[in-house]
Amino acid sequence: MNKKMIISNTLLFIGILAFILLFSAVFSQENMLIGISTITAMLMLLERDLTAEPLMNTGKLLTFNLFMGIAAYLANLNMWLGIPVNFIAMFVISYMLIFNLKNPLYLPFSLQYLFLLAMPVGLSGLPLRLGALAFGAIAIMGLQLIFNRNRVAKGGKNLIKAICEALTEKVELIQKGESGAEESARVKSSISSLRSMIYDKREEDYYLTDEGMTLLNISAALEKINLFLNQIQLDKTDERLLNDLQTTLKLAAKGVASDEPLDELKRSFSNLLGKYEGNDNIPLFSLRILANVDSLLDSLYELKKLDRKQGKITRKLHEVPLKFKKLTYGNAPKHTTSIKFSYAIRVAIGITIGAFLTDYFKLEEGRWMLFTILSVSIPIYEQSRQKMRDRLFATIVGALVAVFLFTIFDSNPARSALLLLGGYLMSYIKVYRYSTILVTFSAIGSVVLITGETHFLTTERVLLVASGLVLALMINRFILPYKQTDAISNLQKMYKDTINTMLQELRLGNGDVDNKDNHSMKNLLIITTMIEDRLKVDLEKGSEPANTEWMNQLRLITCSIFELSLWLEKRGLESMRNPDIERSIREMKKVNLQNGVVSSHGIETVVNQIEAASTLENRIALSMIFEITAELAALNKINWKVS
């Protein structure tokens, strides 16, 4: 914790408090909780860039919020009507806002629906409530336009600079005989962040902007250089190559961060190539590094040529392929829907039962059972069990703290000050087990301020929380449980499917016509990065160290396929005039990783073709094909089990 963080958190807390007070002043006290859910959604959604299609996304948010407002109103009219309405509403919210590869966004919207149920309004109050919900949707998009409008342009160049700097440091460490593992992790993290930005900026969930495509190509070249550095053997590598690579990366970092032309970088690369021109004995490993440096330089030049308006252009020269359109539940592969459907069904059943019991038994504090069910209904079963234990612990401790403090401080000003302090401390405590203590304290404290009671309310809430825990435990255990092993297995299948599709997307025509706007291949590369990020999160939550050999192998294959795709995009097969290249690519396109066995036949043939190649370009292309073929064959020996 430092001074900057304290100031930032303090200003954020003041801003949140001011927004909620202003919201409740405009839309009345009975809609204040909508203000709380709105500011939560505003801050949470900042991690996503919704500005690619602002009007469409504003319309979606408006529809979503108004749907919740009308559904909650209907559910509160009659407890029997509430059964289908609550089930449908919670299923839609949960299913739409949990994702296979991105962090879920359901929490603020699910909480908002529970707030609407807990604070019902009559027909006369419905217009103001719907107005509050409509304003909330507009406020979310307003904050997006303020902070995310130029996110890719500003953040993308900074991340490219950070990647180049980390690679420069890694080269220095390798020259000293060290691995540079920490620098490699920084490179991966920055590449992941960059691709996530590019993914969010797509239009129609498919088309990348010109700027996004160029930044993605830069990230691909840098990722491949990073993988080559992992394989480097100092005793077999020309020291000059490493020195020149280091110089080039430094100049790339300097060039991408400034408005100056790339003349110095161009001269440096020309000198680098001059050292190897006319040398027929250059190792393929060195040639491949030079090819990726060349790709990096070309893409940096393209980025420099784009102005702000040009960078936001999307070239929609082809229809969105069917496989990239939204899949319905009936025709989607199991691994693309199971976590969404499983979680949506479970949370919808839990909230529907909890809401019915609250109405049937007229439980004044029944909302705490609903909040508990929601908070411990987690997509993955093993995580929900730990969260249940944490929730019960936090409820008891938070209740005891509330009773103790509010017994000592019995004036409303003092109690209000304690609540503000609790809310402020939440910005520093991120662990669920301890942050929920503050949530419990604040929740009970708010009721105490209104009623003046402590003991009865605390006891009742503990009992309702316990009831919610038991109900959620039974539902999570017996209704479509989704376990950690299911998540990892489905992600493995998704990774294989994506690589299969990448192989099919290798286009063999003229580079300018068929490959230049290959949005599909670029989408697939981003998706593999997101799958890997999600896999790492799931594997880290396991009780034992995970086997990641298969994941490293899939990453190598992915990067090599995309590298070959860029090579074809730039040159096309016609310019190489080598039938062996086309024949080898067609053979690769027949591979299906889901079959479990990949033939190693043909590797020796490609090696012979490399030796017989008449041009440098053909040698490089064939070496890429050899690498992909060898990596695919190596999958036969991979242990796919994670532990």
Distance from C-alpha of 61 to C-alpha of 56, rounded to nearest angstrom: 9
Q: What is the mean pLDDT of residues 615-630?
A: 84
Res. 640: pLDDT tops 90:
no
Please state the pTM of the whole predicted model: 0.89
Q: Which letter does DSSP use for residue 511 in this model? A: I
- Is the separation of the CB atoms in 531 and 491 below 8 Å? yes
Tens digits of per-residue pLDDT, 216-235? 999 999 999 999 999 887 76
Q: What is the mean pLDDT of residues 34-53?
A: 91
Q: Helices in 277-321 by DSSP H: which ranges? A: 284-305, 308-311
Res. 141: pLDDT tops 90:
yes
Count of Cβ atoms closer than 10 Å to residue 559 Cβ: 23
Q: What is the mean pLDDT of residues 276-305?
A: 82
Going by pLDDT thresholds of 50, 70 and 90, the confidence category of residue 169 is: very high
In this predicted structure, what is the pLDDT of residue 459?
74
Q: What is the mean pLDDT of residues 463-477?
A: 90
Res. 607: pLDDT tops 90:
no
Q: What mean pLDDT value characterizes the chain? A: 84
Tens digits of per-residue pLDDT, 431-446? 778 888 887 777 777 6
Contacts of 311 (CB under 8 A, 6+ apart): 152, 153, 209, 210, 211
- Is the separation of the CB atoms in 198 and 152 below 8 Å? yes
In this predicted structure, what is the pLDDT of residue 225?
95
Going by pLDDT thresholds of 50, 70 and 90, the confidence category of residue 513 is: very low
Q: What is the mean pLDDT of residues 45-66?
A: 95
Say how far residue 424 (Cα) sits from the centre of its chain.
28
Q: What is the mean pLDDT of residues 562-577?
A: 76
Going by pLDDT thresholds of 50, 70 and 90, the confidence category of residue 576 is: low
Res. 44: pLDDT tops 80:
yes
In this predicted structure, what is the pLDDT of residue 615?
76
In this predicted structure, what is the pLDDT of residue 575?
53
Q: Within 13 Å of residue 244, how many CA atoms lie on the same side as its CB?
A: 21
**What is the rounded (10 degree) CA torsion for 496, 500, 506, 507?**
-150
Tens digits of per-residue pLDDT, 236-249? 666 778 888 998 89
Helix (H, G, I), strand (E, B) or coil at 17: helix
Res. 426: pLDDT tops 70:
yes
